[in-house]
Structure 1
């Protein structure tokens, strides 16, 4: 077989052959993260998880009502049933340096990240006071201040963008990790695997989170995916994966701790598959006829993430009156956010011409 000619550099004296960088030996890189342990939480921590998940549940219920009244336009994807994923993972982040990016089912993530419910609801209703000035709506919220980079309507697009955020963390050596969420439907998109390849080649600090709510838009993951054990999807790129009970906030938090230890230890990307379930349709316009009411009710009764934490709290000595008081407080916060949104003005038409470019060229 003919030998490839080596490229010469150095002009007329071009006798120095450019040496290619030595490729790392990945053949021995088969280390696996330890199996995560379910978080042992004290009463105060359990109360905080309960409060955050209940806030997401009540907020999303109210958003569904406002959509029915015509106050929220376009698409609206509710997070009801999946609350343990966002709360369990984001409670482990360092908000001073870590970044987050997700798809269009994003309201719950923003609430778990501590963003004011008023500006989220105002964004849903397209008001000037919204976190994206009413321009993003349900699917395209964004907050550089909170290192929350969307809210993306293109299925799977956030995975490549999240890989870019992780590259930024490594390039600037800021110690940050990117958490990139996507769903079981997006797990079949081509750009996801291009991103996996680059992330592993460059050893990027990123946690890929597959929120497997079983149905993508309306097709069961078992019918749509040849490999339906989605935590294995990174194996051909030597990215380890863990499968987690996404209906148990303590299991999710334990997995978050294990994943962050792996990534912050300089071992490159990791993939988490969170087995969860959405109670509502894919969006508010989805009648969800691809599954039975009995199936949804069975999950609610057996695996509801909020009821699970409530039981843990009762074991820890929390009284029924204490938990009811939290529910009343959350309902007041949500009512205030809805009132704020309804009373806020719509954007000035001149806003159409702002935020088009970062600067003029």
Structure 2
């Protein structure tokens, strides 16, 4: 069945549509206000709608899918390659329509509201941790201007702050001392807010079997497990663990010409948040594991530390995919076995001829 293909450039208030009439070949460009956007598609027959994966795209994708349309969210990098001439809303909508019809471009998965709710908690937790780090560094920098330094780490900061404030109270204005004390106390407030979010994630994880299953993998804990399940959703959209690892960007990039291919460092494509969590988890396993696996014991002496960490993160990603795609539990002693080789055309022909001779 042929679908009319729409390219939509979404924004806060104005939406730009681009499509081609299948019968006449006429090209259309249309602007719609936010309030009338869904009304335009409600009575249309099923069509293919392409949108760039940006703010609000998931919401509109769910709404249009509920109407019976097929929605594909395209990565911004893929769309940019088709922008011709000056960049404007009409050019972007045309580029989206062209990109959505290309067979080699992998669309961004459409997430449910439950998945986005969990990811929202992760984003807020990540931001709070960023604020906490900034606040701690600011305190250290300001106190250094008055000759006060302290050891690295949050524990050292908490231990040194009472004595530092007491010494500075004799030299500096009271308004500065009170402000420094307030900023120091703010770190505890941020700690409580981060702990509250982690407690809510823990409650959600108790109700989600998939996140519980992958949390059994060494190096995968509460944060990584819930983030993976909420981000990936259906793992069967990836054909293999290798494809999943490539989507996360923890496989070598490559460059080549004339038949010569040179492998580079990891590509760092895909979701940087998940990749960071897996790398940190792999580093934790490498540093603190009391019973490392035979595979890890074999590769550790032969490769630099960071190479081993990335290789372990890649292995963790493949294990996560296998558990999610096949619905199995984590088995520490599992050994992967290559499938039996399929018979070649020549061997099949030989079997057929041999069977014919026997019957004759």
Do Structure 1 and Structure 2 share a fold, with TM-score over 0.5?
no
Larger radius of gyration: 2
Which structure carries more relative contact order (alpha carbon 8 Å, separation 6+)? 1
* Higher percent of residues as helix: 2
Q: TM-score, normalised by structure 2?
A: 0.24
